[in-house]
Amino acid sequence: MADAVTMEKIVSLCKRRGFVFPSSEIYGGLGSSYDYGHYGVLLKDNIKQRWLQAMVQERDDIVALDSSIILHSDVWQASGHVGGFSDPLVDCKFCKKRYRADHLEDAQCGQRPSKRPGEASDCDLTEARQFNLMFETRVGALEETGVPVYLRPETAQGIFINFKNVAGIARRKPPFGIAQVGKSFRNEITPGNFIFRTLEFEQMEMEFFVPPAEADEWYRYWVDERFAWHRRYGIRESHLRIRPHDDDELSHYSSATSDIEYLFPIGWSELEGVANRGDFDLTAHTNASGTKLEWVEQDGSRYTPHVIEPALGVNRSMLAFLVDAYDEEVVAERDRTVLRLHPQLAPVKAAVLPLIGKNEDMTGRARKLYEELRQVISVEYDDGGQIGRRYRRQDEIGTPYALTIDDQTLEDDTITIRERDSLAQERISIARAREHLLDRLAEPWSSPKVASLLP
Ligand code: ATP
């Protein structure tokens, strides 16, 4: 078993197998921007689906929303983002590198990577300046007359401003939630670390509106619920922890926040945030817009609900799943790299492989099975090259099962099913392959990787 999963190994696998490419590569690349290839799209999509399943489909107290990326500029004034969504920035006048003043402890000096910025004698850091993270653009044809607007830095505000619309027609009373998945944009100062922090990313956010007296209880509920979601899809408990924010770390709007952290190759870092935002947002938008965003009881009494928000990045979640799944082992004296992804997240659920790619009886049977299976799940057909190579390719993209059509298939209508994690092989009837596979995919799964902490 591998003991150290480095970011380099993940980046290399992602490029080699077409999960993630550096963006604008043929023009020299654009820092902190990535493009997602076929398997990256499928994996990201599965993460979003599993989130929506847990947050909307399996509940009767949360509904979905898809709000605009570009909203009225006043939204961002009211939310405090125009005035306050900024990071403190310092520049080194000597090496020209730029750092977040609050992240100097974790940064490397541009000249001497073994030191922190400011520690070497040549370092010449400026005073910290505030730098707003929102990307600004314009609506309108003319540069001079266009109205300035922002690309949203979070999806949450689109939910708050729709509170009245949704509460009015969703026939739900607090506690109830609104969930949204969509792109957000931040002009991050110190990008890097692959898809951990990028200029554009997808967020899965849910705002849960509750009577004020129930806010603490629901906050604790959502911290536990979200922790359980990461475990449900295979993240090892040894690599997950809950870190409550200290008082001096809390955002201006929050009375309590906990980060669910994952042990990434860069160390323990925020994977998801769960915040008790109080009535800050609904009150701010009520005051700024003049529209009352409040709950009116049948007896006419009214109150502003408090909000609990779990917020998770799709791309950061994908990185955590990839790191947690990445494994290397030696099998029959050969190195094997395998992504031990939860079957429900795996981009491809099964590969259909004729043992001899040039044997038309085998390829015919294999294609028929493949065409039957692809109607219900994501499957791949591959008849090119040695069977061992084809298995290894599927292992590297995390395909949990391989179905092989061989000589014996032609005699007795059976095929082998090979399991990615244990490498166990079993013969099953081709007629029952679909049912068998669907049953296997639905079985509980937990990571077979050892629960050792990364160095
Ligand atoms: P960080 O401290 O890492 O900058 P944050 O506390 O600003 O994150 P939130 O505003 O709470 O992040 O956003 C919620 C989630 O969105 C984060 O937990 C993370 O998963 C994701 N996220 C935030 N910024 C980025 C980014 N630039 N790139 C990728 N994912 C991000």
User: Ligand 1, closest atom to CA 199?
Assistant: 27
Per-residue pLDDT band for 317 (boundaries 50, 70, 90) equals very high
The CA R_g of the chain, rounded to the nearest whole Å, is 25
| pLDDT > 70: percent of the chain | 97
Residue 239 has pLDDT above 50, yes or no: yes
Is residue 140's pLDDT more than 90?
A: no
Report whether pLDDT(442) > 50. Answer: yes
**Distance of alpha carbon 183 from the chain centroid:** 12
Residue 317 CA: nearest ligand 1 atom is 20
Residue 453: its pLDDT value, please? Answer: 47
Average pLDDT of the segment spanning 359-385:
97
> What's the gap in Å between 73 CA and the centre of ligand 1?
22
CA of 156 from ligand 1 middle (Å) equals 12
Judge whether 162 and 178 are in contact, CB under 8 Å: yes
Output the residue whose Cα is nearest ligand 1's atom 22: 313
Mean confidence (pLDDT) of the chain: 93
Q: Work out the angle at residue 21's Cα, subtended by the Cα atoms of residues 54 and 28, and round it to the nearest 5 degrees.
A: 140
The CA distance from 187 to 81, in Å, is 13
CA 428, CA 438: separation in Å to the nearest integer? Answer: 13
Band (246; pLDDT cuts 50, 70, 90)? very high
pLDDT band at 1 (very low <50, low <70, confident <90, very high): very low
What is the per-residue pLDDT across 182-226, written as a single tens digit (0 to 9) for each?
A: 999 999 877 679 999 999 999 999 999 999 999 999 999 999 999
Instruction: Take atom 8 of ligand 1 and give the residue whose Cα is closest.
Output: 270
Q: Which residues form the pocket of ligand 1, taking CB atoms under 6 Å from any ligand atom?
A: 154, 186, 188, 197-198, 201, 203, 270-273, 311-313, 315-316
Report the alpha-carbon distance of residue 153 to residue 149 in Å, rounded. Answer: 12
Ligand 1 pocket, mutate which of 157, 190, 203, 317 (most atoms under 8 A from CB): 203
Contact 208, 278 (CB under 8 A): no
* pLDDT given at position 143: 67
Please give the pLDDT value at position 142.
Answer: 66
Q: How far is the CA of 201 from the centre of ligand 1 (A)?
A: 9
| Helix 314-325 × helix 38-52 angle, to 10° | 110
Lowest-pLDDT choice from 52-56, 60-64, 87-91, 421-425: 87-91
Distance CA 326, CA 335 (A): 13
| 3-class SS of residue 383 | coil
CB burial of residue 41 (10 Å; 0-12, 13-18, 19+): middle
Average the pLDDT over each of 60-64, 85-89, 338-342 and give the range with the smallest value: 85-89
**Is it the case that residue 427 has pLDDT exceeding 70?**
yes
In this prediction the pTM is 0.92
Q: What is the pLDDT of residues 287-302, one digit of tens each?
A: 999 999 999 998 999 9
User: pLDDT by residue (tens digit) across 380-410?
Assistant: 999 999 999 999 999 999 999 999 999 999 9
Report the candidate in 13, 16, 20 with the shortest Cα–Cα distance to residue 38: 20
In the predicted model, what is the mean pLDDT of residues 251-272? 93
* Percent of the chain whose predicted confidence (pLDDT) is above 90: 78
Alpha carbon nearest to ligand 1 atom 11, residue? 273
Contacts of 280 (CB under 8 A, 6+ apart): 252, 253, 254, 307
Q: Ligand 1 centre from 186 Cα, in Å? A: 9
H or E element that contains 314: helix 314-325
Residue 86 confidence (pLDDT): 78
Mean pLDDT of 359-381: 98
